[in-house]
Amino acid sequence: MTFRAKHLLGIEHLGPDEITTLLDLADQYVDLNRRDVKHTNTLAGLTQINMFFENSTRTQASFEIAGKRLGADVMNMAMQASSLKKGETLIDTALTLNAMHPDLLVVRHPHSGAVDLLAQKVNCAVLNAGDGRHEHPTQALLDALTIRRAKGRLHRLSIAICGDIAHSRVARSNIMLLGKMENRVRLIGPPTLMPSGMQEFGVEVFEDMREGLQDVDVVMMLRLQKERMDGGFIPSEREYYHRYGLDPEKLSYAKDDAIIMHPGPMNRGVEIDGVLADDINRSVIQEQVEMGVAVRMAAMELLVRTRREAAAEQGVMA
Ligand code: CP
């Protein structure tokens, strides 16, 4: 098997062969998820705990559905009602849950690096469901699966990632994944929302949206992350939409068959025109959500398989 990772903490740690293995398995789960009966017993008897220290709709729901369809016992920790409120630390919380022998921990946390730290303290597989501005690996993987299915390949494509790059873990994970799979990545956004030194990641940077969108195959819009801003990044939402909001006129610079993506949640009328977002001939935003369940099923199955194989090898050597 070409998947070797013990945790899924970031795209940074995955090789192109591991990404392909995961997407191939996810393709099979897309088929299963479209059937009347969607259950397997791949993770039967295993325990999955979801710990979301930040709000989520798509990621939390799809991890829960993914675990249940694989037959795992899934528990969603209500973090707002946990002993964190009494001052218990993240690490003590993790050690407490670890003592209950979970097999999979799914963690979203507002601080970059918090999920990596937690993974060092527990015995089970940890999946990063988004940590601060750092990484959101399953989002990049579901984006990759969506692109591969829409375009028939995941290499030598020209892909524009537009908007609030500075605060986006989605952008960071996508830049790494799309680069590893040998695509041409363009970043488009105002200088205030574009971290310096991005060219070091092998991407092209554009301030002008029309120039950046010229002849691209994929237009990936990002949410303006107001909750991570402490003021002064944009003159106004109206001005931002005028310069960087995706509308039919700006989209006309991309290829005629370019697809529109957005990780959600969307600010309609801020980074994207609502009609374009709903245009089933161009937008694959709902497909992204569908792929999210399949990718998370594949990720959890592969992590469990890696651990079972490692345990079997240790048993043979003992
Ligand atoms: N794309 C994404 O992470 O959405 P949620 O915040 O709703 O999980």
Is residue 49 scored above 90 in pLDDT? Answer: yes
Q: How confident is the model at residue 236 (pLDDT cuts 50, 70, 90)?
A: confident
Lowest model confidence (mean pLDDT) among 67-76, 223-232, 247-256, 309-318: 223-232
Distance 315 CA to ligand 1 centre (A): 40
Is residue 87 scored above 90 in pLDDT? Answer: no
Domain map (residue ranges) of the chain = 7-135+289-308, 137-284
Q: How confident is the model at residue 164 (pLDDT cuts 50, 70, 90)?
A: very high
Element spanning 29, H or E = helix 16-33
The fold of the 7-135+289-308 domain, in CATH, is: Rossmann fold (3.40.50)
Is residue 209 scored above 70 in pLDDT? Answer: yes
Whole-angstrom distance, CA of residue 95 vs CA of residue 298: 26
Direct distance between the N- and C-terminal alpha carbons of the chain, in angstroms, rounded to an integer? 22
Q: What is the pLDDT of residue 121?
A: 95
**Percentage, residues of the chain above pLDDT 70:** 97
Q: Is the CB of 130 under 6 A from ligand 1?
A: yes
Q: Of all protein residues, whose CA lies closest to atom 6 belonging to ligand 1?
A: 56
Q: What is the pLDDT of residue 318?
A: 63
Q: What is the pLDDT of residues 121-146, one digit of tens each?
A: 999 999 999 999 999 999 999 999 99
Is residue 30 scored above 80 in pLDDT? Answer: yes
Is residue 230 scored above 70 in pLDDT? Answer: no
Is residue 314 scored above 90 in pLDDT? Answer: no
Is residue 1 scored above 70 in pLDDT? Answer: no
With b for 16 or more beta-carbon neighbours within 10 A and e for fewer, the 249-288 pattern comes to: ebbebbeeebbbbbbbebbbebbbbeebbeeeebbbbebb
| Binding-site residue positions for carbamoyl phosphate | 58-59, 108, 136, 139, 264-265
Q: What is the pLDDT of residues 144-161, one digit of tens each?
A: 999 999 999 999 999 999
Residue 264 Cα: closest atom of ligand 1: 1
Q: How confident is the model at residue 84 (pLDDT cuts 50, 70, 90)?
A: confident
Mean pLDDT of 171-176: 98
Average pLDDT score over the chain: 95
Is 67 or 318 the better-scoring residue by pLDDT? Answer: 67
| Max Cα–Cα distance, the chain, nearest Å | 66
Distance 232 CA to ligand 1 centre (A): 25
Is residue 305 scored above 70 in pLDDT? Answer: yes
Whole-angstrom distance, CA of residue 181 vs CA of residue 147: 12
Distances (CA, A) of 122 to 10, 100, 201, 298: 17, 11, 32, 22
Q: What is the pLDDT of residues 54-77, one digit of tens each?
A: 999 999 999 999 999 999 999 998
Q: What is the pLDDT of residue 78?
A: 83
Residue 59 Cα: closest atom of ligand 1: 8
Per CATH, the homologous superfamily of domain 137-284 is: Aspartate/ornithine carbamoyltransferase (3.40.50.1370)
Is residue 227 scored above 80 in pLDDT? Answer: no
| Binding-site residue positions for L-aspartate | 86, 169, 223
Instruction: Tell me whether domains 7-135+289-308 and 137-284 share a fold.
Output: yes
- Residue 20 CB coordination number (10 Å): 17
Is the separation of the CB atoms in 18 and 4 below 8 Å? yes
Distance 110 CA to ligand 1 centre (A): 13
Q: Is the CB of 139 under 6 A from ligand 1?
A: yes
| Mutation probe of ligand 1 site: the residue of 57, 131, 266 with most atoms within 8 A of C-beta | 57
Distance 312 CA to ligand 1 centre (A): 36
Q: What is the pLDDT of residue 213?
A: 98
Q: What is the pLDDT of residue 226?
A: 74
| Binding-site residue positions | 58-59, 86, 108, 136, 139, 169, 223, 264-265
* Crossing angle of the two packed helices 58-69 and 285-317, in degrees rounded to 10: 50
Mean pLDDT of 270-286: 97
Q: Is the CB of 227 under 6 A from ligand 1?
A: no
Distance 21 CA to ligand 1 centre (A): 24
